[in-house]
Structure 1
């Protein structure tokens, strides 16, 4: 899927154990991830019972398992075998293994495209895909008009990019810097995401910005470069990240889009 592998000790590649699962849960419950997952959950349909959900590139399955807890029948696709095994461990602890199917792969296969999903989740994955237009077309093939796509990616128009991106690219000379994850291939802007989604047959319904205020960077001069997590700023994201212009300024842009044509 991506241009660079994750390190061997990263949870997507580590052998699944209770300790690795606990590490994954701690990371998912941290302020940034908790806020991002919380926004995704707010954008889901009010009632998922009996609905079919595809979580593409969902890693160890935090959102997939949450959708299963809400009553959906979920298919989780990821290229990392150990991540899928970890997802099954998580599902077992939550009592929803009967509602979670795992599929190993780096493509939206013809079999998946023949199915019909009421909701497709593509959280922080499109920036990993070499051919993003083809990827969106393949996701769209899994859905009928009226179905929902939830997609997120990092935002080149964010305040964090203005500060950290400028510093990394021009001061540090990292001209190919694509964010915090070395496997990323590109950044998007709100305009480029709109073109990508509309080109695949989606109509954008809602935008949400997360990490609108880049607290890590702003804390450096105040705390002698010690990084801190300001929970209050994540509450800001939950309260104001849905409204313009904050929904276009987040480091992470989350979009709810409706499939409008086949």
Structure 2
């Protein structure tokens, strides 16, 4: 699979059984999820898109934290991941919760080759782990209908993100397993905006995500120096 890093897929597949444990290795994602899905929901509504029946694709879904949140809003959700272990955990959790989510072991280029199209495509905490960034964004664009929206969240490549998201989160606070991130794979907002434009997507909004180190709570901010969200529109 061209955009997939086998090593990254294996790394996250190893966490699959504990993905839904709010105090497990995905604890930061559990705490971040309401902010990132809520931010996306606000912009979907502002675009005049109704959640009921909205065709949404979650790329790099892991065990389904965001996919389930979107399904509960009424969207028709397809969710893909390269890890068979993560998809198995996602399917089990959705079944237990009575949610009908179409989970598939796939890369985005696989669905693009099938001619699939969606109203909204999301890729949350994924682009810093892919093998080919431009090919990945081109696939996301191909999967988005004209006028549709693409949403990404990722990590900025700054000295501050190295200290907080890499050294702090993995080595000092132990919020994430050591080796979760490679700082060299982080992408600046300017780099991501240029890459999105090359893929035929126009950036329309962005926001920072800031964590309170004492409580672990996340809030939207203007500070994009560590974690950030970005929204784009396909022309």
TM norm structure 1: 0.71
- Residue number in structure 1 paired with 2:128: 127
Indicate which of 78, 88, 104 corresponds to 1:85: 88
Distance 1:208 1:234, change over 3 A: farther
Indicate which of 225, 230, 234 corresponds to 2:217: 234
d(CA) in 1 for partners of 2:166, 2:70: 38
CA RMSD of aligned residues (A): 3.1
d(CA) in 1 for partners of 2:165, 2:153: 19
- Whose radius of gyration is greater, 1 or 2? 1
Deviation at 1:11, TM superposition (A): 2.2
d(CA) in 2 for partners of 1:54, 1:9: 20
- Residue number in structure 1 paired with 2:180: 181
- Residue number in structure 1 paired with 2:201: 202
- Residue number in structure 1 paired with 2:172: none
Q: Point out where structure 1 has 5 or more consecutive residues left out of the alignment.
A: 15-19, 169-178, 216-228
- Residue number in structure 2 paired with 1:223: none
Number of positions where the alignment pairs a residue of Structure 1 with one of Structure 2: 216
Q: Do the aligned residues in 1 keep the contact of 2:13 with 2:85 (CA within 8 Å)?
A: no
Kindly report which structure 2 residues correspond to 1:1-262, keeping only aligned pairs within 5 A, or say none: 1-2=4-5, 4-5=7-8, 6=10, 10-12=14-16, 14=17, 20=18, 22-23=20-21, 25-27=22-24, 30=27, 33-44=30-41, 45-46=44-45, 47-97=50-100, 100-110=101-111, 114-157=115-158, 159-161=160-162, 163=163, 181-182=180-181, 186-211=185-210, 229-231=213-215, 234-235=217-218, 237-238=219-220, 241=221, 243=222, 246=223, 248-249=224-225, 251-260=226-235
Q: Point out where structure 2 has 5 or more consecutive residues left out of the alignment.
A: 169-177
Going by fraction, where is strand more abundant, 1 or 2? 2
Q: Do the aligned residues in 1 keep the contact of 2:207 with 2:230 (CA within 8 Å)?
A: yes
d(CA) in 1 for partners of 2:96, 2:210: 30
